[in-house]
Amino acid sequence: MTPALASPDIGRVFHALGDPTRRAILDRLVEGPSSVSRLAEPLGVTVTAIGQHLQVLEETGFVRTRKLGRVRSCSLDLAGFRTVEQWAADHRALWTGRMDRLGDLLAEDDDG
Amino acid sequence: MTPALASPDIGRVFHALGDPTRRAILDRLVEGPSSVSRLAEPLGVTVTAIGQHLQVLEETGFVRTRKLGRVRSCSLDLAGFRTVEQWAADHRALWTGRMDRLGDLLAEDDDG
DNA sequence: ACGATACTGAAGTCCATACTTGACTAAGAT
DNA sequence: ATCTTAGTCAAGTATGGACTTCAGTATCGT
């Protein structure tokens, strides 16, 4: 629904992906949903730290969580991923288009 | 040569894009090459700061610079952009594929 | 030669943030 | 009821990084 450039904060999205622990969480969630403590286990950090990362990942659309009993189940959310893809699509036209035109211009200097 | 997932420092690439000043530099360079001081002017930071950002952007493949006389000419480099696109392509298969299978398995309830 | 311009390097400041600990609540197990 | 497990909240620490100033170096204009 939200059009490409209306993406609220692409900076927060990139910032979220800039952290190795958060990327590790996402890698783990590709395998399927997980609880907070099971996410923490292999990463060598406390569950508190994971909770903080999860908040960032939720706010940026990479993770969705739901609390069932005392366990919080975390799963991938594709919204954040689509934000990145949309950014790439927008900037592909902008960046490569401009670069191609530059190439055209430089190649055409025999055409007065 | 090296396939997608071998990209060593995707973290550095995302970190580079996470900063608003660096994204502003890239936006400016879409218009064409620029000197360091001309990049600094509209951004309200010192040329030293721009120089530091340029180093990050060069190391992550977003900017190429060449020094001509006393002026450093900065232009867009598509390598960094392609790194992001490649990451998106790899994770599209991984993420959406897995999500689709999950959807098949669970026929899950969808909010939203 | 002289001054102005364009940048660079070292060093320091300051704030964001990734992490911790410890006290707490809530839910399941016995 | 009690103990244990799963997670949360509030502070606090500490390291990284975005930025500055100041002192250079090199190049250009006159």
Closest by Cα among B80, B11, B92, B81 to A16: B11
B17 burial class (0-12, 13-18, 19+ CB within 10 angstroms)? buried
pLDDT in tens, A85-95: 999 999 998 88
Q: Does A24 touch chain B (CB under 8 A)?
A: no
Q: What is the pTM of this model?
A: 0.84
Is the shortest CB-to-strand distance from A51 to strand D under 7 Å?
Answer: yes
Determine which helix (DSSP H) or strand (DSSP E) holds A76, and give its type and residue range: strand A71-76
pLDDT at residue A98 is higher than 70: no
Q: Which of B15, B23, B31 sits opposite A18 (nearest CB)?
A: B15
Q: Which of A17, A75, A95 sits opposite B81 (nearest CB)?
A: A95
pLDDT in tens, B35-44: 999 999 999 9
pLDDT at A96: 83
Confidence of residue A71 (pLDDT cuts 50, 70, 90): very high
| Strand D nucleotides within a 7 Å radius of protein CB atoms | 5-11, 17-22, 26-28
pLDDT at B100: 59
Contact assignment for B98 to A11 by CB distance below 8 Å: no
Percent of chain A with pLDDT over 90: 74
Confidence of residue A1 (pLDDT cuts 50, 70, 90): very low
Rounded to the nearest integer, the mean pLDDT of chain A is: 86
pLDDT at residue B60 is higher than 80: yes
pLDDT at residue B112 is higher than 60: no
How far apart CA B109 and CA A72 sit, in angstroms, is 17
pLDDT at A18: 97
pLDDT at residue B69 is higher than 80: yes
B1 Cα to chain A: minimum distance (Å): 21
- The DSSP result for B67-108, as a single string, is EETTEEEEEE-HHHHHHHHHHHHHHIIIIIHHHHHHHHHH--
Confidence of residue B3 (pLDDT cuts 50, 70, 90): very low
What is the number of residues in chain B?
A: 112
Name the token pair of B90: 């790899």
Find the mean pLDDT for residues A83-112.
Answer: 70
